[in-house]
């Protein structure tokens, strides 16, 4: 394998990036092979050499984007509890903003409900489910013992994800939202609520 297959791999990457970029701006139907061809400078036949069809191309672009997301949970040795929560929310904001195209395209797909579900949507929804589980585990491990129970941890995880989505949408609506500041505000709110439960359990 020499220069030839290297060029092929580069083209493949260019196609994936262009597709993800276009899809995040125009959605599934708005992303046409013609536009991808135009943005990459490659003819349609090249795109079809690398990918079976449009459906597979968009799925691959989504997987490509997902694989670039920072998903590992942060370290948490010896840090005070409320600070942990703040770091967690900051990380969540970081995740959606590091590769905004993924979340943008993903949310569009999530909202759509066409007869035949695109593979790209399936991939994103699966990511969300996995993320919810990870978050639930994290909350279970992080919550003070007095209030820690699996159902509550799950509720907080669900709310956590909803907050990410909500902030991202607001950000897209171009209302000049400061995602980091809002992340801090909401982290403080969660800490306050947990504090209250804690008092109630005593």
Partner DNA sequence: TTAACTCCGTAACGATCACTACAGCGACTA
Partner DNA sequence: TAGTCGCTGTAGTGATCGTTACGGAGTTAA
120 three-class SS:
helix
- Among 107, 151, 161, residue whose Cα is nearest residue 129: 161
Within 13 Å, how many C-alpha atoms sit on residue 25's CB side?
10
Select from 25-33, 93-101, 111-119, 132-140 the region that touches DNA (CB under 7 A): 25-33
CB atoms within 10 A of CB 1: 7
165 is a site residue for its own copies (CB under 8 A): yes
| Binding-site member from 53, 67, 68, 98 for DNA (CB under 7 A) | 53
Question: How far is the C-alpha of 7 from the C-alpha of 157, rounded, in Å?
Answer: 43
The gap between the terminal CA atoms of the chain, to the nearest Å, is 67
**Site for its own copies, residues 36 to 95, rule: CB under 8 A:** none
Q: Nearest distance from residue 191's CB to its own copies, in Å?
A: 9
Residue pair 105/118 in contact (Cβ under 8 Å)? The answer is no
CB of 116 to DNA, least distance (A): 12
Residue of the chain from 26, 37, 87, 180 that contacts its own copies (CB under 8 A): 26
Reduce the DSSP state of residue 52 to 3 states and report it.
coil
**E strands, 69-158, where?**
none
CB of 131 to DNA, least distance (A): 29
Q: Which does 13 bind (CB under 5 to 8 A by kind): its own copies, DNA, none?
A: none
Binding site for DNA (CB under 7 A): 1-5, 7-9, 11, 31-35, 42-46, 48-50, 53-55
Binding site for its own copies (CB under 8 A): 24-30, 104, 107-108, 110-114, 125, 128-129, 132, 155, 158-159, 161-167, 169-170, 172-175, 177, 182, 185-186, 188-190, 192-193, 195-196
């Amino acid at each position: 394998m020499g220069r030839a297959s290297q060029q092929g791999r580069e083209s493949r990457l260019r196609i994936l990036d262009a597709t993800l970029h276009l899809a995040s701006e125009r959605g599934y139907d708005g992303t046409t092979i013609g536009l991808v061809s135009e943005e990459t400078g490659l003819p349609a036949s090249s795109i079809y050499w690398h990918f079976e069809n449009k459906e597979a191309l968009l799925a691959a672009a989504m997987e490509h984007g997902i694989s670039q997301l920072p998903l590992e949970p942060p370290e948490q040795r010896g840090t005070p509890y409320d600070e942990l929560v703040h770091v967690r929310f900051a990380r969540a904001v970081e995740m959606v903003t590091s590769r905004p195209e993924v979340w943008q395209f993903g949310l569009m797909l999530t909202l759509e409900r066409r007869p035949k579900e695109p593979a790209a949507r399936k991939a994103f929804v699966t990511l969300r489910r996995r993320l919810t589980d990870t978050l639930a585990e994290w909350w279970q491990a992080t919550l003070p013992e007095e209030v820690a129970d699996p159902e509550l941890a799950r509720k907080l995880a669900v709310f956590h994800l909803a907050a990410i989505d909500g902030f991202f949408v607001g950000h897209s609506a171009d209302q000049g939202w400061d995602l980091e500041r809002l992340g801090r505000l909401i982290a403080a709110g969660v800490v306050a609520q947990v504090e209250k439960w804690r008092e109630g359990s005593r």
